[in-house]
Amino acid sequence: MSERKIRKVIITGMSGSGGSYLAEYVVNHHPEIEVHGISRWHSTAANENLRNIRDNVTVHECDLNDLSSVLSTLKQVKPDGIFHLASHANVRASFITPLSVLNNNIMGTANLLEGIRIAELDPVVQLCSTSEVYGQVDPKNVPIKEDCPINPSSPYAVSKVAQDLLGYTYYLSYKMKIIRTRMFAYLNPRRQDLFATSFTMQVARIEAGQQKILLHGNLDSIRTIIDVRDAMESYWVALLKCRYGEVYNIGGPTTIKVGEFMELLKKLARVPIKSEVDPKLLRPADVTLQVPDVSKFKKETGWQPKYSFEESVQYLLDHCREAVARETV
């Protein structure tokens, strides 16, 4: 498929951990694109996450749970591409505040899609979903294809299933140009609730003498890892090349147990690292086998990840050490 011509994009959740990396990718690799983002007025991450590109993007104060502000922003920008990343994305926290997560993620998506429809715009919309929608998969369905049964295991996963299905419904009912992607685990230095970043930040704090023991949850879960920079490039490629109404798995080539990742960090640490389980970090229901089949996405787009697993781990470790160093100043 030939690439679509995109001139102006909106990234929902642009000040967040993934959205900010996506904005950086577009600014740095496609400077001809006008980049706009949605960020809620009470977001505390915008200045830090967008500091490298602050002068190259336009941030709009907009809450996706407020349809009036969504409509106002859409009418002002008139984008021809939208990346929908905004959501409450902490799986473990969704067991504690399930109604907040469900309301935010589902109604925020509904308001975005309704806003596009009411404003009579016709952008390409990429709904960024997650492998969590598959839940605990039967080993016979691994590696996981897009037609694997959906079986969400957390309130967060339920909210992402609803987003996913809303996108498909608006494609069918209103002929909207919607593409759904389901991202598997990635190394994201700006998101500390992910196991990899949490472990690495703790290693950096132990190295700095700020902490004594690395605390962890379930170490037996299996994940397939991709670098956040590759993940965000894949979103851009999806917007340009993927078919409307279709869903695509995206993930990396390295499969590893959570415990194996922790042991790798211990080997790379500058001091000996002791670790122990923290019961508060165990989920009421866990997803322990997340290995994707990404052949559909690769076949239709030609995309390939650029960063090796070793490069990604070092990038994460460097970022966390720098973050801890700033904390001690």
Each residue of 221-250: pLDDT tens digit?
999 999 999 999 999 999 999 999 999 999
Contact 227, 312 (CB under 8 A): yes
Edge-to-edge order in the sheet of strand 124-130: 58-61, 34-39, 8-12, 81-84, 124-130, 177-183, 247-250
Tokens read off for 179: 């593409």
Tokens of 117: 């429809």
Topology given in CATH for the domain delimited by 8-184+227-251+296-306: Rossmann fold (3.40.50)
What's residue 308's pLDDT? 96
- What 3-state class would DSSP assign to 193? coil
pLDDT at 220: 92
Residue 46: the pLDDT is 57
pLDDT of the residue at 41: 57
Q: Is the pLDDT of residue 118 over 70?
A: yes
| Separation of alpha carbons 127 and 21, rounded Å | 16
Confidence at 285, pLDDT banded by 50, 70, 90: confident
Architecture of domain 195-222+255-291+310-327: Alpha-Beta Complex (3.90)
pLDDT of residue 298: 98
Residue-wise pLDDT for 154-211, tens only, equals 999 999 999 999 999 999 999 999 999 999 999 999 999 899 999 999 999 999 999 9
Residues 4, 1: Cα–Cα separation, whole Å: 9
User: What does the domain layout of the chain look like in residue ranges?
Assistant: 8-184+227-251+296-306, 195-222+255-291+310-327
Question: Burial, 44: exposed, middle or buried (Cβ in 10 Å; 0-12, 13-18, 19+)?
Answer: exposed
Contact 210, 271 (CB under 8 A): no
Helix (H) or strand (E) holding 158, with range, is helix 155-174
d(CA 11, CA 29): 16
User: Is the pTM value of this prediction over 0.85?
Assistant: yes
Q: Are 34 and 9 in contact (CB under 8 A)?
A: yes
Mean predicted confidence (pLDDT) in 249-269:
96
Dist CA 99 CA 155 (whole Å): 8
Give residue-wise pLDDT tens across range 89-115. 999 999 999 999 999 999 999 999 999
Average pLDDT, the chain: 95
Q: What is the pLDDT of residues 20-37, one digit of tens each?
A: 999 999 999 999 999 999
